[in-house]
Amino acid sequence: MPSLLLALLALLTSPLEGAHASVTEPAPTPVVAVQSSTLDPATPLEAADSSIADPAPAPLGASHPSTTDPAPQPPRVFLDCQTPGCDYDFFRTELRWVDWVRDRQDADVHVIVTSQPTGGGGRQFDVSFEGRGELQGNRFTLLYSSGTDDSTDDRRRGLLRTLSHGLAPFASGTDVGERLDLVLRDPVVEPEAAAAGPGAVPAAAQDDPWDFWVFSTSANMFAQGESSQGSQNYSGSMSATRTTEMWKARIALSGSYGKTSFELPDRSVVSITRTYTGSGLLVRSLGDHWSAGVRASARSSTFVNQDLALQLAPAIEYSLFPYGDHTRKALTFEYGVGPRYFNYSEETLFDQEEEIRIEHSLSTSLNLRQPWGTVRTSISGAQYLHDLSKYEMTLGTNLSLRLFRGLSLNVGANYSRIHNQLHIPRRGASEEEVFLRRRQLATNYRYFTTVGVSYTFGSIFSNVVNPRMGGTAGGGGMMMMF
Please write the tens of the pLDDT for every residue from 91-149.
Answer: 888 888 888 888 888 888 999 888 888 766 778 888 999 988 888 888 888 988 887 77
468 lies in a domain? no
pLDDT at 58 over 50: no
**CA diameter of the chain:** 104
- One domain for residues 279 and 423: no
Nearest of 256, 238, 363 to residue 313 by alpha carbon: 363
Domain residues for the domain of 346 are 305-462
- Contact criterion met (CB below 8 Å) for 375 and 409: no
The bridge status of strand 139-146 relative to strand 123-131 is: antiparallel
216 lies in a domain? yes
- One domain for residues 237 and 159: no
- Comparing 384 with 324, the larger pLDDT belongs to 384
- pLDDT in the model for residue 174: 81
The total number of residues written for the chain in this structure:
482
- pLDDT in the model for residue 188: 59
- One domain for residues 265 and 319: no
- Give percent of the chain above pLDDT 90: 32
pLDDT at 43 over 50: no
411 lies in a domain? yes
- pLDDT in the model for residue 207: 67
115 lies in a domain? yes
- pLDDT in the model for residue 14: 44
Per-residue pLDDT tens digits for 318-354: 999 998 887 778 899 999 999 999 999 999 988 899 9
- One domain for residues 318 and 448: yes
Rounded to an integer, the average pLDDT of 149-155 is 79
**What's the pTM?**
0.63
Q: How far apart are CA 102 and CA 461, in angstroms?
A: 6
Between 53-67, 166-180, 431-445, the lowest mean confidence (pLDDT) is in 53-67
Per-residue pLDDT tens digits for 209-265: 888 888 889 999 999 999 888 999 999 999 999 888 899 999 999 999 999 888 888
Mean pLDDT across the chain: 77
Q: For Cα atoms 463, 465, 466, give the angle at the middle one, nearest 5 degrees.
A: 145
Per-residue pLDDT tens digits for 456-478: 787 777 666 666 776 544 444 44
Single residue among 232, 252, 285 that ends a domain in this structure: 285
Rounded to an integer, the average pLDDT of 379-391 is 95
Banded pLDDT at 46 (limits 50, 70, 90): very low
Per-residue pLDDT tens digits for 155-168: 888 898 899 899 98
291 lies in a domain? no
Tally of structural domains, the chain = 3
